[in-house]
Structure 1
Amino acid sequence: MDAALADRLAAVDARITEAARGAGRDPAEITRIVVTKFHPVSLITDLYALGVRDIGENRQQEITAKRREREQLADLRWHFIGQAQTNKARAVRAASDVVHSVDRPRIADALHAAASGDVLDVLLQVNLTDDAGRGGVSPAGVEGLAAHVRELDTLRVRGVMAVAPLDEEPARAFERLRGCADAVRRVVPDATWISAGMTGDFPEAIAMGATHLRIGSAITGPRPPRD
């Protein structure tokens, strides 16, 4: 077992606990997702031995391959957090327990059409930037998207997801995301999840109500060089 990995995981969990208590929240209500993008599948085995049960991946090919190689870890939850494409919806759905990046009716419809079993938990990705070309529905459109996805009985709207813009204080961005979460709950009252906060800004996300954190390098260490 990699002692450095265990130390990094413990350090992040301590920071999560500190931030939650500082915000008057119960740390137990926050899910820490470890993002293993580009890391070997052996890292997932090591994380599992340390108690990690939520893994995040950005690329369809990677989540598909890693889940297949670690299918014996039956209680591991796989979160797809990258941009979803309609032509990969079937593969994404087959490999994921939660999809964090539903940002338009078309991708929701594609995931719905790919259903073959259990209801899929999804989050609505919100674009908090002024760049309309970035992934995510606009804050003004999130309520309408929630209404659309609500009608697809193989999908379950759990809440919202966003990435804080690089040119804005994370706390301000996450405060706006919290407003989007409120709008979604007007349509789907039990959609209580807020997926926000990464290595550099998760304390601010916790302060603004994040329930799911997507943390990579602070736990996994630097990504290995790619071939």
Structure 2
Amino acid sequence: MTELDIRSRSAELTALTVRHTPDSGGTDCHTVSVTQGATSGRGAALHVTADNTASTAVIVRGGGALLRLYNAAGTQRLSVAADGTVTVTGSLTVSGALTAASQSVSGNLTVTGTLGVSGAATLSSTLGVTGAATLNGALTVAGTATLNGAVTVAGYTTLAGAQANSDFVVFGSLSALGPVATLGAKNGLTGVKLCGQKETAGAPTTGTWDTGDVVLDSAGVWHRCLTGGTPGTWS
């Protein structure tokens, strides 16, 4: 049952126009307010359908935030700013391709299709990518990143915790914030565990080391830990 039905058959006329010009502004001043009462069905408070394939179902224009979504508790979960910046407070799941010039996600980001980022990407939580990911800007990962597809980064890359199960290509600088960066392991070979550079010449004489740790001394000579210990046996 429809309680209100407004139609216009003219291609040049608008079926309904609502204009609100309040005398004074306020935080609860809305031009249109839609509230749906409790129901056992799956209806929506607002349902918009555009049958014409050349039409846009919803057009939003504003000087402030274009869109804000809240949960039942009143917590903001998603917002779209006037400059196109999308901010997601919870997890974001994308089944198709995702292209973002400016996006902030404070929860988990899961992309099952293609991920394309033309600006800087900063992730404070978990990143899971099963397809190819191409980043033309900087990549900063503060949490755990598990990459099952190829990753190509053209900018500066900073990783606090990352695991790549496929190709990881960086055309800019790569900074691993962890104590050990393991590189290699191609064709069944063992990866090289790079632990850093000493300020003095010779193998380490202090500290606890694991078998396979590799250290570069101040003279440019590489040393590999043959037997772990304190300080262990070095080549």
TM-score, scaled relative to structure 1: 0.24
- In our comparison, the structure showing a higher alpha carbon Rg is 2
Structure with the larger helix share: 1
TM-score, scaled relative to structure 2: 0.23
